[in-house]
Structure 1
Amino acid sequence: MKITRFSTIAALGAVAAFTLAGCAANETAAPADSAPADNGAETTSLSGTIDATGASSQGSAQEAWVAGFQTANADANVLYEATGSGVGRDNFKAGASDFIGSDRAFKIEEIEEGGFGACASDDIVEVPNYISPIAVAFNLGDIKELNLDADTIAKIFSGKITTWNDPAIAALNEGVELPDTIITPVHRADASGTQETFQSYLAATAPSVWTYEPSDEWPLQSGEGADGTSGVVDAIKAGEGYIGFADASRTSDLGSVAVKNGDEFIPYSAEAAAALVEASPLEEGRAAHDLAFAVDPAAAPAGSYPIALVSYLIGCVEYEDAEVASLVKGYLQYVTSEEGQQVAAEAAGAAPLSAGLIEKVATAIDAIVTE
């Protein structure tokens, strides 16, 4: 069976809207033989083991999702290893992962090349499942909050600003006693969708300073590299004067930057990140079961946080093994259901998908063939 890869999908902001409903602290997965979930998940118990790798940004949420799903399906095992998005995509193409998490969707040209070893065909399903701000976090003693604009952030990470009491930083933080501590910027040493999202922000909002093409690889030799979200956070914590970027759910113990958008400095929050994505269309030229956002930080609406991560779950339309197909489909349905999104909001502070997008995602996941 072969499904047409490309069809045009409407780029409507309403489709991409997000709501930030309150999180239920005691929410647990519904038993597999109970009434169907709102997203039409299977009502029979699933069994077997599936392996997944990918985005470390999703790490905390994945731990909660796996626990909830396995509670509902006692005979199912989901093994998710936070390797970073780049490794996850490589593993999916090599057939080493049944599904992956990735902080960016496959590019259209990558899909056209095919060769997805995990799949029985070249058709893939890509759905957003995790929306979170990327925090610009730092370690500067008693200073816990700073205001920075795009040009200044770009100059810090490109090595043009080297001390914390630089006049450009001081001008944005009147009344803050800034030390002459050396700035050490930390980036990802591994290929990372979080890194590409951060570079996309710099390229879009500070093009005269950040002149590099956005990539999941770091374009400079300066600064310090660290593997995965945990590696970046640990590096910042270990060194005074260090600054880096990471999924906001992992940076609560560090100082944080309020990023300038328009005339305001916006602290990171799930709500402010969701406002950026809400204003973003879906990319055109993709299949109906391939839902990738075209986020433009330069067009961030007032009040939104302009560095927002849209992370995806990626699986096959067709698998060789029907048991694997059923288990992947069931897990993706759970993660992207209203309940699963509440679990992620509670565990990782992610912005839940709106009801309208949940419905769109459920239709995309239904393309996975289980017979």
Structure 2
Amino acid sequence: MKYVGRIAAVAIVGALSLAACGTDNNGGATSSAAPASSAAGNDNALSGAINAAGSSAQANAIDQWKKDFQAKNPGVSLNYQPSGSGAGVQAFIAGTISLAGSDSALKDDKGEPAAADARCKTGKAINIPMVTGPVAVVYNLPGVEGLQLSPKTLGGIFNSTITKWDDAAIKADNPDAKLPATAIQPFHRAEESGTADNFTKFLKATADWPYEPAKAWPAEAKGQGAKGSDGVASSVKSTEGAISFVELSYAENSQLQKAKVANGSGEFVELTPDSAAKTVEAAEVKGTGNDLKLGIDYATKAAGAYPIVLVTYEITCEKGLAADQVPLVKSFLQYTASDEGQASLKDLGYAPLPATLLTKVRAAVEAIS
């Protein structure tokens, strides 16, 4: 595992100020009018700034892509604020950024697609999957390695109905383990989070989870909140008896213990990029046209498939970005969807997109104009 520095929180005050003054830059700065067709992530004629924000789950991927893309395009700067998926979507709708990262697609029940389309003015907003982020169930229990947890047991733990590590349900999942009577300390994201949204979708689909999936953690489930993926990882690392859910890259960077999770066939599966990719391969495209919103089967019975995954989307306008932003955003996404851009993900604890999905992603990026 290569350690990747956490993205510095980059201030986007300048972009916000421009927006407040009535500019129609839609989150951008000036750039050269390089043709988008020549901007395949390696066009030194490009210049300007891309202001983006959102998912902290993809922060390590963005950090690597930013470094590599800017090396190829020294006139371009990418400012990404890992403020959380909910904040990123709202900033995009408000027009203060050109690109939002979100661990879940725009939500119909919140009116997000219509609001995002209105922000794009002359086109529609599209969800473009770019990062497969396996979600690790991490725990801090010295002396207990290779913990196995079924979805039903996870539901009880995170709903605070299973409160001790030697509970009968955990023993049933781990018949050969010596489990202590330590109190379970469950952590969750304090702010709205696409990771929480995907994790609760998994629980709703596979466990006795009484709450509706949401970016905001249900207060009734209790537990302790921590800010951002890094905050969750840090809290688990410093708290004996802790358990939480966090993206694989953060779990590995913090050297946390990871549980094996049972899929729909009852097989306890270790989390790896390859085992997570098996679940994404079966995902169904729910969007239309170049909107690639996915439906993931969290109860997959595929052999060797790890069931808790999230796909991070890059949300932007298919048409309707400010003219100076089109070649910049398009060029950056062409790079992230390239063979080189996707290959770098495995070293960061992510999984590259399956080939069939990647073909659709590239077509969606080419449609940006």
Q: TM-score, normalised by structure 2?
A: 0.84
Q: Of Structure 1 and Structure 2, which has the larger fraction of its residues in helix?
A: 2
Identity among equivalent pairs (%): 38
Which residue identity lines up with residue 260 of structure 1 in the other structure? A
- Displacement over 4 Å in runs of 4+: 39-44, 115-118
- Residue in 2 that maps onto 1:20: none
Q: Relative to structure 1, is the Cα distance of residues 117 and 68 closer, same or farther in structure 2, using a 3 angstrom cutoff?
A: farther
SS in 1 for 2:344: helix
1:256 is matched with 258
Q: Which residue number in structure 2 is paired with residue 16 of structure 1?
A: none
1:345 aligns with 346
2:285 corresponds to which of 282, 285, 288: 282
Equivalents in 2 of 1:268, 1:162: separation in Å?
A: 24
Report the aligned-residue RMSD.
Answer: 2.1
Secondary structure of 2:188's aligned partner: strand
| Shift in CA distance, 354/150, structure 1 to aligned 2, threshold 3 Å | closer
Quote the residue 2:173 is aligned against: 172
Q: What does residue 357 of structure 1 align with?
A: 357
Identify which range, 66-75 or 263-272, moves more after superposition: 263-272
Q: Aligned partners of 1:319, 1:294: CA distance in 2, in Å?
A: 27
Residue identity in the other structure for 2:194: G
- Counterpart residue type for residue 224 of structure 1: Q
Residue of structure 2 in register with 1:195 after alignment: 196
Kept after mapping to 2: 8 A contact 1:49/1:79: yes
**Alignment partners' CA distance in 2, 1:93 and 1:225:** 27
Native 8 Å contact 1:276 1:300 kept in 2: no
- Could you tell me which residue of structure 1 aligns to residue 114 of structure 2? 113
* C-alpha separation in 2, matches of 1:56 and 1:325: 24
After TM superposition, list the pairs within 5 Å mapping 1:1-371 onto structure 2. Answer: 43=43, 45-108=45-108, 110-115=111-116, 119-206=120-207, 209-221=208-220, 222-252=222-252, 253-261=255-263, 262-283=265-286, 286-319=287-320, 321-346=322-347, 348-369=348-369
CA-to-aligned-CA distance 1:56-105 (integer Å, 9 cap, x gap): 01011111000000000001000111111011111111112110110011
TM superposition shift of 1:279: 1.2
Letter in 2 for 1:218: W
Check the 8 A contact 1:133/1:273 in 2, yes or no.
Answer: yes
Give distance in 2, aligned partners of 1:136 and 1:220: 20
Letter in structure 2 aligned against 1:306:
P
Whole-Å separation in 2 of the counterparts to 1:88 and 1:318: 19
Which residue is 1:14 aligned to?
none
Bigger relative contact order (CA 8 A; separation at least 6): 1
Distance 1:130 1:327 in 2: 19
Deviations 1:279-316 (A, max 9, x none): 12111xx3311101101212342220010111111111
The change in CA–CA distance for 1:117 and 1:54 in structure 2 (over 3 A counts) is farther
Question: What is the CA–CA distance in structure 1 between the aligned matches of 2:87 and 2:112, rounded to whole Å?
Answer: 17
Unaligned runs of 5+ in 1: 1-22, 24-32
Aligned-residue offset at 1:220: 2.6
Shift in Å, 1:266: 0.3
- Spell out, residue by residue over 1:209-248, the C-alpha distance to the aligned partner (whole angstroms, 9 max, x if none): 2111111111134100111101111111111001000001
> In the alignment, residue 105 of structure 1 is paired with which amino acid?
A
Query: Any idea what the Cα deviations from partners look like across 1:318-345, whole Å, max 9, x if unmatched?
Result: 3453221110111111111111011222
What is the SS of the residue equivalent to 1:250? helix
- Contact kept, 8 Å, 2:236 with 2:244, in 1: the verdict is yes
